[in-house]
Homo-oligomer: A and B are copies of this chain.
Amino acid sequence: MKSSRITIKDIARIAEVVPSTVSAVLNGKEKSARISSALSDKIKKIADDMGYQPNSMAVSLRTGKSRIIGLIVENISNPFFALLAKELEDEIYKYHYRILYCSTENNDEKGAGQIKMLYNRQADGFIIAPSSGMNKSIKQLMQTKVPIVLIDRYFPELEVASTLVDNYKGVELGMKHLIEKGYKNIGFISVDINQAHMTEREIAYRNELELAGIKPNEKFQLKINYTIENKKEAIKKFLKENSALDAVFFATNYLCIAGLEAIADLEIQIPTQLAVICFDDHDLFHLFSPKITAVSQPIAEIAKSAVKLLVNQFDTKKYPVRSKEQILLAPKLIVRASS
């Protein structure tokens, strides 16, 4: 790596050919450009010796492809998204793409700005876990024909590819488990948004209660706003007011974290005094909270199928053709021995 960059012009000068010949050789087009293998080898050797590295910006400008994928998630530090980011990195690398990530923090305007930014940067594709109001900005983005895959969350009204975990099924598994175990007063703590992945979980909760012949009690449900500072206190208040609860279902992982803190503060014993189930959990939960039951999302599978859905759109001969395929992966119920 030299201080001043080597360009194909430099190589061309030394090899005494014209830059386009260098370009053809370095792009493996010797055959179609019918360049002698002697010359081709000479050029390759010079490029190698000089430590030539192509300028991706120039390539992108010329070809219109950046080989960058925009990843937009709620928060990259959330273990679920962090694990997903790693799996996506590995998976997308196989296709020679790289990821530029953004955290929306569930802020629709922030997300819209990030879409715009990534589009300006000529992102070749988008993988988005959208916040609840991003349907508008995603709809706009769809008009550009750029490949998009939604993950984790989706909008039923948008015809766009998505990889989801069966949210309904996940809560159903968890609820059936609790009910089988004889729990009757089951609370449900979810995020206060009107977004399909969350409402599906809520509907499953209510349906499963009714299937078990238990009338849902409005008081046993708590919806917490993402932006609320002190989630722990909200949950503490809820638990105190509903001492009849014998089990609680957290619809997402960060609420469960806050909830476990609240439970610790209140010195409630898990699972003897209160059974706990958490959706959206991950390895660390399994390790550190052997007493809570988990609805686990198959993160590696999510990444694999999201990338597949994305590159399918690249491959299409009649590119760009929007894929509308939806992949629904099965969640897994993880019951620890002690619960």
A66: CB under 8 A from chain B?
yes
A58: CB under 8 A from chain B?
yes
**Smallest CB separation, A308 vs chain B (Å):** 20
Interface residues of A in 141-198 (CB under 8 A from B): 141, 143-145
A304: CB under 8 A from chain B?
no
A288: CB under 8 A from chain B?
yes
User: Is the pair B98, A117 in contact by a Cβ cutoff of 8 Å?
Assistant: yes
**Smallest CB separation, A134 vs chain B (Å):** 14
Q: Give the docked Cα–Cα distance between A87 and B288 (Å).
A: 25
**A54 to chain B: closest residue by CB:** B120
A3-B144, A55-B122 as given contacts; A85 in contact with B77, CB under 8 Å = yes
**Smallest CB separation, A34 vs chain B (Å):** 28
Chain B residues within an 8 Å CB radius of A100: 68, 98-100
Chain B residues within an 8 Å CB radius of A120: 53-56
Chain B residues within an 8 Å CB radius of A99: 100-101
A290: CB under 8 A from chain B?
yes
Interface residues of A in 59-99 (CB under 8 A from B): 60-61, 66, 68, 75-79, 82-83, 85-87, 89-90, 98-99
User: Is the pair B143, A79 in contact by a Cβ cutoff of 8 Å?
Assistant: no
User: Is the pair B89, A76 in contact by a Cβ cutoff of 8 Å?
Assistant: yes
User: In which size bucket is the chain A interface?
Assistant: 35 or more
Among the listed B60, B86, B102, B122, which residue makes an inter-chain contact with A77, where contact means beta carbons less than 8 Å apart? Answer: B86
**Smallest CB separation, A126 vs chain B (Å):** 12
User: Is the pair A284, B290 in contact by a Cβ cutoff of 8 Å?
Assistant: no
Chain B residues within an 8 Å CB radius of A87: 77
A257: CB under 8 A from chain B?
yes
**A98 to chain B: closest residue by CB:** B100
A53-B119, A55-B120 as given contacts; A287 in contact with B77, CB under 8 Å = no
Among the listed B58, B86, B283, which residue makes an inter-chain contact with A76, where contact means beta carbons less than 8 Å apart? Answer: B86
Instruction: Encode contact with B along A196-238: 1 for CB under 8 Å, 0 otherwise.
Output: 0000000000000000000000000000000000000000000
A23: CB under 8 A from chain B?
no
Chain B residues within an 8 Å CB radius of A76: 82, 85-86, 89
Interface residues of A in 9-66 (CB under 8 A from B): 53-58, 60-61, 66
User: Is the pair B1, A143 in contact by a Cβ cutoff of 8 Å?
Assistant: yes
**Smallest CB separation, A165 vs chain B (Å):** 18
**Smallest CB separation, A124 vs chain B (Å):** 11
Chain B residues within an 8 Å CB radius of A116: 1, 53
Q: Give the docked Cα–Cα distance between A102 and B85 (Å).
A: 10
Q: Give the docked Cα–Cα distance between A167 and B103 (Å).
A: 30
A140: CB under 8 A from chain B?
yes
Interchain residue pairs A-B with the least CB separation, the first 9: A288-B288, A82-B82, A77-B86, A57-B60, A56-B121, A57-B61, A77-B83, A77-B82, A1-B140
Q: Please list 13 pairs of residues, one from A and one from B, whose beta carbons are closer than 8 Å in the complex, sorted by A's number.
A: A3-B144, A54-B120, A55-B120, A58-B61, A68-B100, A76-B85, A77-B79, A77-B85, A77-B86, A90-B103, A100-B100, A261-B287, A264-B290
11 new A-B contacts at CB < 8 Å, known A1-B141, A86-B103: A1-B140, A1-B143, A3-B145, A53-B119, A54-B120, A56-B120, A57-B57, A61-B61, A77-B79, A99-B100, A257-B287
